[in-house]
Amino acid sequence: MINNLKLPGLITGLSILLSFSCIHKPEKQPGFTYDNSFQQISDSLHSWTNSHTPVGVEALIIKNEKVLYHKAFGFKDLESNVPLEINSIFRVASMTKPITATGILILKERGKLQLNDKISKYIPAFKKIAEDSITIEHLLRHTSGYGEFQIWKDYGEELRKLNNIQEVVDILAAREPVYPLGFEEYSSLNTILLSRIIEVSSGMPAEFFLKENILQPLKMNDTYLLEDPQADWFKKIPKTYGVKNGIPEVYWIPGSDPSMYPFFRGATGAATTAHDYAKFLQLWLNKGELNGTRILQETTVDLALDNKGKAIGLHWFVPQSPIKADLFGHAGWYGTSASGYQNDNAIVVYLTQTYNAPKIAEFYEVLAYSGILEHPGPFDIQKELPKLPNQPNDATLRKYIGKYRAITLDSIHWSAVIDNQEGHLQAHISSDLDSWSERLVNLKPDIFAPGYINKSTPFAISPQVFYEFQEPGSFKIRVFDRTEFNFIKLVD
């Protein structure tokens, strides 16, 4: 969903920007009066996994370092009818990124590097790139100018055949960034470069440095940074699924399918448990210390959670909120998400391995209305709905229905199907790398926004995302004041 966590593998900055942009506390609406908040969460997770969207899910809620809720639903292996159990090991993909960034911050505190250092100091090949202007902080804030897809679309399969991170960096050093320096655009390429800088400045492989300086001190004993198909823990990972036409299909089988990457590259690769990742989040909630072990100084934590008025701090997604650094978090390709709430001293971890039907946004919506936490979490809904026009009838909606195509700046081909479901427009957006669906609420003539609709009544909409239909046969998706997609209708 554009305004929610759609969370495919190479997560775009757009998806996470909106997912973690929580400004308002929602009001409980008619139909959302829950006598038992936790039971409502369980009922929702049970309902979703019964329909295999997702196939299996584990949710953990911690407040003041005490577990409030921890349950698993659905299946680890649907075909063999193996249920998912709590404390399963999940591949968390891009949730690896904050761990890598923490390694950089540790090295900064030890005087091994400075955030304003040019990355060419550690990777000389970048003296020829972007006029040698990219710094470590640009990488941390995703403002280097690199786009998420500009390398993967050409080199995705080839990267899996490489032997080490330096070979990946050599490919990157031959390509100029697609965006101007300072332009915020989430990209895994930034983290790949950070992992190489860790190696150069620490004198050891990045995964060893992170294990020695983060995982071991925090006793994250069930967290692994390198895929090992022969290891016992690796076989405990649930199967990964995708959902096509409502039917779950096996996407990846642990221990049977080959490793995605035979080396650690910083941006992805971690496998962990809900409790282990919660330890990592608690470190940040505690301003750099956990159980008497200090990993970071408070000033470093404050710096990292300062988004400078944008969507991202130093590799954490931080909402543009009146309450500075109230919420931070990250998500991953296979349907995983974790958030820390400073005002509540709370942690929410939501894990599944159903990459295109994770229901993460819906989970945070249920959590928001439950009142369990003061902050609604990474789900942005409008507190007070505007006075909406009467929703269009089927005859009016007909002119918007159809198939559309778009090409983004990264030369990714996108398709859109707009149809009518239960009297409301439904948008289905997809490419080879990503897909999401969302219900649309009519705001004014030819302008819609993603929303939550109970029967015929919309009572939660995104205040920052707009589908603007234009003549002849086109529409654009605008986020804040920035147009992200321009779709043209296909002629039958």
> CA 262 to CA 160: how far, in whole Å?
7
Q: Clarify whether residues 303 and 403 are in a common domain.
A: no
Q: Clarify whether residues 429 and 333 are in a common domain.
A: no
Q: Clarify whether residues 40 and 178 are in a common domain.
A: yes
Q: Does some domain include residue 266?
A: yes
Per-residue pLDDT of the chain (492 residues; tens, 9 = 90+): 333 323 333 333 334 333 444 333 344 444 434 346 788 899 989 999 999 999 999 999 999 999 999 999 999 999 999 999 999 999 999 999 999 999 999 999 999 999 999 999 999 999 999 999 999 999 999 999 998 766 665 555 666 678 888 888 888 898 899 889 999 888 999 999 999 999 999 999 999 999 999 999 999 999 999 988 888 898 889 999 999 888 999 999 987 766 666 789 899 999 999 999 999 999 999 999 999 999 999 999 999 999 887 889 999 998 754 444 478 999 998 999 999 999 899 999 999 999 888 888 788 878 876 778 877 666 555 555 678 888 899 999 999 999 999 988 777 889 999 999 888 999 999 887 777 788 899 999 999 998 877 667 776 677 778 999 997 799 999 876 778 899 999 986
Q: Clarify whether residues 345 and 463 are in a common domain.
A: no
Q: Clarify whether residues 181 and 240 are in a common domain.
A: yes
Non-local CB neighbours of 274 within 8 Å, separated by 6+ positions: 58, 59, 60, 70, 86, 87, 90, 349, 351
**What is the pLDDT at residue 159?**
66
> CA 62 to CA 68: how far, in whole Å?
5
Q: Does some domain include residue 387?
A: no
> CA 158 to CA 160: how far, in whole Å?
5
**What is the pLDDT at residue 3?**
32
Give the predicted TM-score (pTM) of the model: 0.80
Domain, as residue range, for 428? 394-489
**What is the pLDDT at residue 154?**
56
Q: Clarify whether residues 192 and 335 are in a common domain.
A: yes
Last residue of one domain, picked from the residues 349, 381, 413: 381
Q: Does some domain include residue 351?
A: yes
**What is the pLDDT at residue 34?**
38
> CA 70 to CA 48: how far, in whole Å?
17
Last residue of one domain, picked from the residues 328, 348, 381: 381
| Number of domains the chain contains | 2
Q: Does some domain include residue 354?
A: yes
**What is the pLDDT at residue 35?**
45
Q: Clarify whether residues 363 and 433 are in a common domain.
A: no
Q: Does some domain include residue 138?
A: yes
Q: Clarify whether residues 433 and 322 are in a common domain.
A: no
Last residue of one domain, picked from the residues 357, 381, 405: 381
- CB of 267 closer than 8 Å to CB of 94: yes
- CB of 222 closer than 8 Å to CB of 211: no
Q: Does some domain include residue 312?
A: yes
Q: What CATH number is given to the structural domain containing 465?
A: 2.40.128.50
Q: Clarify whether residues 57 and 179 are in a common domain.
A: yes
- CB of 484 closer than 8 Å to CB of 477: yes
> CA 415 to CA 481: how far, in whole Å?
22
